[in-house]
């Protein structure tokens, strides 16, 4: 007698095939780990399109899974500024709550990118409130303050540069044009200006100049933070995947930064090992995730706002 085959049922009630089930499980696991919520960070359903809008490059870049690699590269890069690292070492709880910090960062990026203008401004204010308490004296005797325009500019520049590097190498098949990348830098200047950063780059040439203006050095605190970022506490099953993401992030760093941190990917290992494996992994996860629910919600909100404005104009 042949037994009936039972197919799994998705939360919406429809019958899932194996492919759909894999996508759902992977999407829930990735978004849950990165954002702390399997649905991803939430944004308002009503309001304006926010600081960027549906046609922006920022919406496209920040919705892609390559931001995981870019975000880790930015954190590693930022450790090389002794004053920025002193602030992290003295005031951050990254060792005790690394995933909580990732969730908060994810929420901030979602709010400033896909939230309404009010949500974006509120996210900046929350970070500024934290920054007000981050001040002290570094090991070399220099005073630091997290709300210093110069330090804010360093953090901003490394993040923008890292997202560009990761998206260019590991983004979707349609590669960003030179104009797209310059436009992205210009769009992200809105966030830097909201914090009072100075100087604020508005194209890639200015971005390179800002990054090149800092004297970088890996302190003992920086190397300790880098080791933690390379080997954070996590389940054994996640470690091979994280190791690949970490290797991809390190390989994207400037060689000088790799040497300072003592994290060098051998020249042959990058193009022959790290890059093909990372592209395969990122492509699989991108397929599983589909479109970000946060992006979908923001797009629907923007479309609803456009319809309302069109109807208002038609009625006048």
Domain that holds residue 95: 52-289
Average pLDDT of the segment spanning 70-85: 97
Which tokens sit at 263?
């994290």
Q: How confident is the model at residue 286 (pLDDT cuts 50, 70, 90)?
A: very high
Report if residue 92 sits inside a domain. Answer: yes
Report if residue 3 sits inside a domain. Answer: no
pTM of the model: 0.90
Distance CA 296, CA 51 (A): 16
The predicted pLDDT at position 12 comes to 55
Average pLDDT of the segment spanning 150-155: 98
Report if residue 177 sits inside a domain. Answer: yes
Contact 114, 58 (CB under 8 A): no
Contact 113, 49 (CB under 8 A): no
If you ran DSSP here, which 8-state letter would residue 271 be given?
I
Overall number of domains in the chain: 1
**Could you report the per-residue pLDDT of 3-60, keeping only the tens digit for each?**
444 445 555 555 567 778 878 887 778 888 787 787 788 899 899 999 999 999 999 9
Distance CA 88, CA 90 (A): 6
Please list, in sequence order, all residues whose beta carbon lies within 8 angstroms of the beta carbon of residue 308, skipping any fewer than 6 positions away. none
Report if residue 125 sits inside a domain. Answer: yes
Q: What share of the chain is helix, strand, coil (3-state, %, to 5)?
A: 65, 5, 30
Contact 293, 39 (CB under 8 A): yes
Q: Is pLDDT larger for residue 19 or for residue 91?
A: 91
**Could you report the per-residue pLDDT of 229-253, keeping only the tens digit for each?**
999 988 898 899 999 999 999 999 9
Report the sign of the C-alpha dihedral through residues 176, 164, 242, 40, in that order: negative
Report if residue 41 sits inside a domain. Answer: no
Q: Is the pLDDT assigned to residue 164 strictly greater than 90?
A: yes
Report if residue 20 sits inside a domain. Answer: no
Helix (H, G, I), strand (E, B) or coil at 145: strand
134 φ/ψ angles, rounded to the nearest 5 degrees: -100, 90
């Amino acid at each position: 007698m042949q037994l009936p085959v039972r197919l799994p049922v998705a939360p919406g009630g429809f019958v899932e095939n194996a492919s759909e089930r894999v996508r759902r499980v992977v999407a829930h696991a990735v978004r849950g780990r990165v954002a702390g919520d399997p649905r991803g960070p939430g944004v308002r359903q009503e309001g304006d399109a926010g600081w960027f809008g549906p046609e922006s490059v920022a919406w496209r870049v920040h919705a892609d899974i390559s931001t995981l690699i870019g975000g880790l590269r930015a954190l590693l890069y930022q450790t090389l500024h002794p004053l920025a690292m002193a602030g992290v070492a003295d005031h951050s709880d990254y060792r005790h709550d690394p995933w909580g910090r990732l969730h908060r960062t994810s929420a901030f990026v979602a709010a400033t990118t896909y939230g309404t203008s009010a949500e974006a401004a509120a996210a900046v204010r929350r970070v500024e409130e934290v920054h007000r308490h981050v001040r002290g004296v570094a090991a070399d005797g220099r005073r630091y303050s997290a709300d210093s325009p110069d330090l804010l500019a360093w953090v901003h520049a490394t993040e923008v540069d890292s997202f560009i590097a990761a998206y260019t190498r590991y983004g979707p098949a349609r590669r960003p044009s030179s104009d797209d990348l310059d436009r992205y830098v210009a769009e992200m200047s809105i966030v830097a200006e909201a914090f009072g950063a100075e100087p604020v780059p508005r194209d890639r040439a200015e971005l390179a100049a800002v990054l090149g203006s800092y004297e970088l050095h890996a302190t003992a605190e920086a190397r300790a933070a880098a080791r933690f970022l390379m080997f954070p506490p996590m389940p054994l099953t996640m470690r091979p995947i994280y190791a690949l993401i970490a290797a991809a992030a390190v390989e994207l760093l400037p060689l000088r930064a790799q040497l300072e941190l003592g994290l060098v990917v051998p020249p042959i290992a990058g193009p022959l090992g790290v890059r093909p494996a990372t592209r395969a992994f990122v492509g699989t996860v991108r397929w599983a995730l589909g479109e970000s629910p946060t992006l979908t919600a923001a797009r629907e909100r923007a479309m609803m706002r456009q319809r309302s404005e069109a109807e208002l104009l038609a009625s006048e």
